[in-house]
Amino acid sequence: MSKPIKPIQVSASTLVNALGVGKESTVDAMFNSHSGLRNSNYPGMNFNTFLGLVDEVENIELEDELVMFSCRNNRLAKLALDSDNFREEVDIAITKYGKSRVGVFLGTSTSGIAETENVYIGRDEKTGKLPDINMLYTDNTSSVQRYVCRSLGVTGVSMVISTACSSSAKVFASAYRSMEAGFCDAAVVGGVDSLCLTTLYGFNSLQLISEDICQPWDKERKGINIGEAAGFVLLEKSSNSSGIHLTGYGESSDAYHISSPHPEGVGGKMAMEYALSSAGIGAPDIDYVNLHGTATPSNDRSESRGLQSVFGSEVICSSTKGMTGHTLGAAGINEAIICTLALENSIIPANVNLNKIDDQLPIQVTTKSMKRTLNHVMSNSFGFGGSNCSLIFTC
């Protein structure tokens, strides 16, 4: 059991993914059930798959004084910081609390590793030497946090969480604790993960990538499509009960296998139960679950078992990875923001690309978007290493 938490206000947010730049394009897909995935290529890739690419990242340049942070991951971060009026909202928080009282808690899995891949590809054949690279500012896991702090002008407590696909869900828990312990008054939480050869070839070597468009919960599902995304949320201690709040989080470890989920979804079940008890509500109170739903045979099976043991077959669910792809270290924030957009717009997004539901996964997955008033919604994020996190948002 987890102790009940105090609701934390979601004051602002911004999102960039394969559906487009800014939250509006994701809202549009949530109403109209289209996918941002395309049969496309990434430089140096020699196999066929669908990708959730953000084309606009190619045209972004970092601020002159922050040019040493240049890499695809930080350009994607800037694209999101520049969208949805987010910088202005953070400026208001800086004025209210002071720049040293705004914390920054971000998630990523591969950071700017694409830069390191490129120096190995560009190795000098004669001398065997690698071209110069500023690893601390690009490759290092913490690069995006240093870039975002300086780009936003905040100097509060800060770190990067890297727990594979749960990274940018867990940032909410750490930010909550930091505010509660008095180390900051407001927090920018978020996640950024960008396309790179490491994840493309790595997941391909594990035979987890689908050649076709990914089909979460489908009988014929063949694996993931990798996507990229950046999202940020401004959290503040709540001064009123209106608006959207983070009301629960639950974290657990599978203690089962380094890259396979527990077959009975035991770790996922614990994370969902902890989230419910920290929100002080029961399973019947949840109106919608945004599934981790990666579309690998074993992941969806594990999550289904975990969900059934917590919710039975009562709750309506969908995976939005058929729209955005699996954005890995950014999946937590991508889907947390989708949950807040669901609450804001009274819409349950469809589980797209689903032709024939797997009868071994007997939970209610909707293939059509549903217009309805929502009160409590849950987002699941489960990662390699057995790292699980469930979040609850309330309107």
Question: What residues are annotated to the active site?
Answer: 165, 292, 326
| 97 belongs to the binding site for other proteins (CB under 8 A) | no
| 352 belongs to the binding site for other proteins (CB under 8 A) | no
* Residue 50: closest CA among 227, 203, 220, 176: 227
Query: What is d(CA 286, CA 297) in angstroms, rounded to the nearest whole number?
Result: 26
Query: What is d(CA 212, CA 51) in angstroms, rounded to the nearest whole number?
Result: 10
**Enclosing H/E stretch for 304:** helix 297-311
| 390 belongs to the binding site for other proteins (CB under 8 A) | no
Q: Minimal distance in Å, beta carbon 391 to other proteins?
A: 13
Residue (230 or 271) nearer to other proteins, CB: 271
Query: What is d(CA 212, CA 153) in angstroms, rounded to the nearest whole number?
Result: 43
Site for other proteins in 44-63 (CB under 8 A): 44, 46
DSSP 8-state secondary structure symbol assigned to residue 52: B
| 120 belongs to the binding site for other proteins (CB under 8 A) | yes
- Pick one of 17, 26, 83, 174: the residue that binds other proteins (CB under 8 A): 174
| 74 belongs to the binding site for other proteins (CB under 8 A) | no
Choices 9-17, 119-127, 312-320, 365-373 (CB under 8 A): range interacting with other proteins:
119-127
**Enclosing H/E stretch for 114:** helix 113-121
Backbone angles phi, psi at 191, to 5 degrees: -160, 145
**CA contacts within 13 A on the Cβ side of 4:** 6
Residues 215/216/217/221 CA torsion (nearest 10 deg): 40
Q: Minimal distance in Å, beta carbon 339 to other proteins?
A: 21
Query: What is d(CA 355, CA 149) in angstroms, rounded to the nearest whole number?
Result: 44
Give me the count of residues in the chain.
395
**CA contacts within 13 A on the Cβ side of 379:** 29
Residue (40 or 253) nearer to other proteins, CB: 253
| 112 belongs to the binding site for other proteins (CB under 8 A) | no
Name the CA radius of gyration of the chain, rounded.
20
| 40 belongs to the binding site for other proteins (CB under 8 A) | no
- Pick one of 15, 79, 197, 350: the residue that binds other proteins (CB under 8 A): 197
Site for other proteins in 357-386 (CB under 8 A): 383-386
Q: Minimal distance in Å, beta carbon 210 to other proteins?
A: 17
| 247 belongs to the binding site for other proteins (CB under 8 A) | no
Backbone angles phi, psi at 158, to 5 degrees: -165, 150
Choices 53-61, 157-165, 303-311, 337-345 (CB under 8 A): range interacting with other proteins:
157-165
Choices 15-23, 85-93, 159-167, 330-338 (CB under 8 A): range interacting with other proteins:
159-167
**Enclosing H/E stretch for 248:** strand 245-253
Backbone angles phi, psi at 390, to 5 degrees: -120, 140
| 198 belongs to the binding site for other proteins (CB under 8 A) | yes
How far is Cα of residue 259 from the mean position of the Cα atoms in its chain? 18
- Pick one of 201, 301, 364, 366: the residue that binds other proteins (CB under 8 A): 201
Number of shown-chain residues binding other proteins (CB under 8 A): 71
Residue 158, strand partner residues: 104
| 67 belongs to the binding site for other proteins (CB under 8 A) | no
Residue (27 or 149) nearer to other proteins, CB: 149
For tokens 């109170």, the residue is: 285
CA distances in angstroms from 172 to 74, 81, 247, 249, listed in the order given: 21, 18, 10, 8
- Pick one of 12, 16, 62, 157: the residue that binds other proteins (CB under 8 A): 157
Strands of the chain, DSSP E: 8-17, 20-21, 38-39, 50-51, 102-107, 158-161, 186-193, 229-237, 245-253, 288-290, 316-318, 347-348, 364-365, 370-371, 376-383, 387-394
**Enclosing H/E stretch for 177:** helix 167-180
User: How many other C-beta atoms can be found within 10 angstroms of the C-beta atom of residue 27?
Assistant: 20
| 232 belongs to the binding site for other proteins (CB under 8 A) | no
Q: x-or-dash pattern for other proteins, window 77-96, by CB under 8 A?
A: --------------------
- Pick one of 9, 49, 74, 158: the residue that binds other proteins (CB under 8 A): 158
| 216 belongs to the binding site for other proteins (CB under 8 A) | no
- Pick one of 113, 192, 233, 276: the residue that binds other proteins (CB under 8 A): 113
Residue (110 or 394) nearer to other proteins, CB: 110
Site for other proteins in 287-346 (CB under 8 A): none
Site for other proteins in 252-291 (CB under 8 A): 252-259, 266-267, 270
| 116 belongs to the binding site for other proteins (CB under 8 A) | yes
